[in-house]
Chain A
Amino acid sequence: MATKRTIRNIPQTRTPMREQDPKARAANFEEVACGYTLDEALRESERCLYCPDEPCIAGCPVGINIPGFIKKIGERNLHGAYDVLTDTNLLPSICGRVCPQESQCEGACTVGVSLEAVAIGRLERFVGDTAIKEGWVNIPHIEAGRFKVGIVGSGPAGMACAADMAKAGCDVTVYEAFHEAGGVLKYGIPDFRLPNAVIDAEIENLKKLGVTFECNTLVGRLFTIEQMIDEMGFHAVFVGVGAGYPTMLGIPGDSLNGVLSANELLTRCNLMRARDFPDYDTPVPIGRRVAVVGAGNTAMDAMRVALRLGAEKVYCIYRRSRTEAPARAEELHHAEQEGIEFHWLTSPVSILDDGHGGVRGMRCVRMELGEPDDSGRRRPVPVAGSEFDFEADLIVYAIGTNANPIMGQTSSLKLNTRGYIATDDDLATSVTGVFAGGDIVTGAATVIEAMGAGRRAARSLKAYLGIRDPWRPYRDADRDDAGTLFGIDLRERNFARVRVALKADS
């Protein structure tokens, strides 16, 4: 047995990941971060202390057994690492790329207290990419049940929920309004951060689990949630349609032709492939000087897309300071490397008209940070008399989204005051058999949070359908055994079959 790992004897610095040169990559849509090689992954895996409290697992919204998969990497058992990962997360290549690890698993990492945290996300991506390259899939033995489950929206929440329900033996159909599945992963996140090939590979895995994808289907309008339950034979439905509806600033000049939402820019460029115009038909407005309002992940994506489309100058306009910027640290860093010009503590006042319906610039005001607000962040307040103009011909709003109204318009689902779907703690909606999760419940959040919600909803769906959930303890501490068989609720409708391998020597 090797010597016990301590904070002193592990590699002290995090293994860097190779990246495309900032100058070169600002002109292409190839992935920026190239991923670890086996040697790099092995070195990084040596940095995990296998500490007893495993705070990283608690920090992960889906509770991946992180030390478990890292240990397998260290043993050079990559398939084993993939098995551990896919026990809890079917989409490691996606999560390894887009999770905000610094505020989740890596933020909780024990190593991170004194050194740089273990690069959990990069290791996860390494394992996921290896699996795609090698064609590994983890298809468990699935005993087909008799339940039909409908999932509305093929984004991260829907995909995660679909995976769990398919594994539980349900006949799962996922409906998507666009012509391609993947939701925000496809239309929102650009290829240089999450290549479409990776998403398609993960969707193929879901199909191998038996999940059916139906695109070009606008649930609510083509058929309603109620019809799915009453007429189409679905025993339960999960709604994960995302938030979507982009917020406009509501300042003069909002409706000028050079002003668009980050959603529109990204959808045109990513899903509709406007970047390959005229090989693809959809056009995208190309600005010489582009100003993006906001500093979240979507804003970073929009800026970097604008740069790759050929903008000479790309500005980030944010009313708070860099510390408060909601983007992932890595995205912010990448954007800075690529030459995005950041204007912190700056807030737009109006968009200036060029006289032909277009934009010639933006009027802004300087801000300073005042007292903390409800979010705990210091509230920005305008500095009197600090207004100034600058030149720009394309303005992109990336200041958040509101609830998509279609579900509310077409179903009797109860909404909260902000228009999102109201659910209880188990993600059950006001309609029996209908559960909801992801951005349409919480408002805009991250991909992994939506996946976490999809999985949480899957548990509730199983409980609702009476499918035994192997994660649930057989005996609830607060319940006596009355009405149970060995602690299993007799009202449950089926039992999972267990396959036991025969021992050769017995």
Chain B
Amino acid sequence: MANFEIVAREDFSDVTYLLEVRHPLMARAAKPGQFVIVMLTARSERIPLTIADFDGHKGTVTLVIQAVGKTTRQMQQECRVGTSLHAMVGPMGIPSPTTKAKKVVCVGGGLGVAPIFPQARGFKDSGAYVIAVLGFRTKSLVFWRDKFASCCDELILCTNDGSAGIKGLITDGIKVALDRHADIDEVVAIGPPVMMKACADATRPHQIKTIVSVNPIMVDGTGMCGGCRVKVGGQVKFACVDGPDFDGHLVDFDDLMVRLRRYTTVEQAAQERWSESCRMTRQVGPSALDALARGSAEQSELLELPELNDALGG
């Protein structure tokens, strides 16, 4: 089987980076809407990440990651071309259903921009008119504009400060799309829960089918731990095997947001430890770091850092 080698890396900003991982079998099996679980090292946490792209010919799977927690920061630092992940399993979750929708809006905000791409391309391939609404905080964070432009009929870019595209939140972009087109069949939204909630609220009055991809904390990703349970239409669903796509008008986002805060305290502590260790690393320099890595248990404690689920997936 694959050894999960990283064959390409691109840094979009100081927090967002792309990893292209070799896994020929998965590259052929993956479908829009699915995710993987990766482990950086044998001691790392298992973190879910939505597949941002896959190329069956090249045999690679692309992940776009935001460094928000300890694991994703450590990955940002350690994942170089030629290195390998300890584990990557997938594709997980039910693929987004191919629908007969003729006109769709694909909404991606923040960490949801990359994973909305395969959906947009999938819709385009099935012959739909695709409008992409992408939200970033500011112009310097914008990525994949061309990639989206190549598969979308319309691209609406929103930035919080107006430095690129329209000034405003993603819901303002959706409003533009809804104003322009009265015949939208479906909206697909991926991003932070608060953004997906706002999207669902924006489309609810128009009764447009709205699919969201939820990103709860999970361990195994195979339906075994129940950590990723979400309330959908009053029923308990497991995002990993019953999702991750659900009807946005039925998802209990408030519940989801509370559940995402399960490990906030440990997460903050871990981040502080991590930042502290990075600061020390810079002070002692890389050669001293190597010495540390080979050094005594006492010394190496400096390098072993606490963890938390980055809750980054979905």
Contact = CB atoms under 8 A, between A and B. Distances in A.
Nearest to B252: A255
Interface in A352-369: 357
Nearest to B265: A283
A257 B241 contact: no
A405 B241 contact: yes
Contacts of B43: 273, 279-281
B86 A260 contact: no
Nearest to B26: A222
A177 B88 CA distance: 10
A222 B222 CA distance: 12
A215 interface: yes
B144 interface: no
B1 interface: yes
A244 B223 contact: yes
B227 interface: yes
A278 B26 CA distance: 32
B270 A278 contact: yes
A351 to B, nearest CB: 13
Interface string A100-117: 000000000000000000
Contacts of B221: 177, 218
A269 to B, nearest CB: 11
Nearest to B2: A216
Interface in B2-29: 4, 25-26, 29
B238 A218 contact: no
Contacts of A267: 219-220, 224-225
A272 B263 contact: no
Contacts of A250: 236
Interface string A244-256: 1110101000110
A178 B309 CA distance: 17
A409 B307 contact: no
Contacts of A223: 25, 29
Interface stretch (B90-98, B122-130, B147-155, B166-174): B90-98
B1 A263 contact: no
* Count class of interface residues, chain B: 35 or more
Task: Select the residue from B29, B89, B90, B221 with max chain A CB neighbours within 10 A.
Answer: B89
A273 B88 CA distance: 18
A277 B263 CA distance: 13
B219 to A, nearest CB: 5
B89 to A, nearest CB: 4
Nearest to B241: A405
B261 A244 contact: no
Interface string A444-478: 00000000000000000000000000000000000
A406 B241 contact: yes
Contacts of A282: 45-46, 219, 307, 309
Given A222-B25, A409-B94, A278 B273 contact: yes
B271 to A, nearest CB: 12
A404 B236 contact: no
A285 B262 contact: yes
Contacts of B70: 281
A264 B227 contact: yes
Contacts of A260: 225-227
A281 to B, nearest CB: 3
Would you call the interface of chain A mostly helix, strand, loop, or mixed?
loop
Contacts of A277: 306-307
A106 to B, nearest CB: 31
Given A267-B219, A279-B304, A179 B86 contact: yes
A216 B38 CA distance: 10
B29 A221 contact: yes
Interface string B81-121: 00000111111111000000000000000000000000000
A398 to B, nearest CB: 12
Contact of A177 (B220, B242, B261): B220
Contacts of A406: 222-223, 241
B229 to A, nearest CB: 6
B281 interface: no
A268 B91 CA distance: 22
Interface string B152-168: 00000000000000000
B266 A283 contact: yes
A264 B226 contact: yes
B91 A245 contact: no
Given A223-B25, A278-B270, A281-B306, A255 B87 contact: no
Task: Select the residue from A221, A245, A272 with max chain B CB neighbours within 10 A.
Answer: A221
Task: Select the residue from B93, B94, B219 with max chain A CB neighbours within 10 A.
Answer: B219
B91 A278 contact: no
Given A264-B225, A267-B225, A278 B241 contact: no
B267 to A, nearest CB: 8
Contacts of B307: 277-278, 280-283
Nearest to B306: A278
B255 interface: yes
A255 B71 contact: no
Contacts of A218: 89-92, 221-222
Contacts of B182: none
Task: Select the residue from B224, B263, B309 with max chain A CB neighbours within 10 A.
Answer: B224
Given A278-B270, A283-B307, A404-B224, A245 B259 contact: no
25 contacts: A177-B89, A177-B220, A177-B222, A179-B46, A179-B87, A218-B92, A221-B29, A221-B90, A221-B93, A222-B89, A244-B223, A244-B224, A245-B241, A246-B226, A248-B236, A255-B255, A257-B258, A261-B226, A273-B43, A277-B307, A278-B306, A278-B307, A281-B70, A357-B259, A405-B223
Nearest 3 pairs of A and B residues by beta carbon: A281-B307, A278-B306, A264-B225
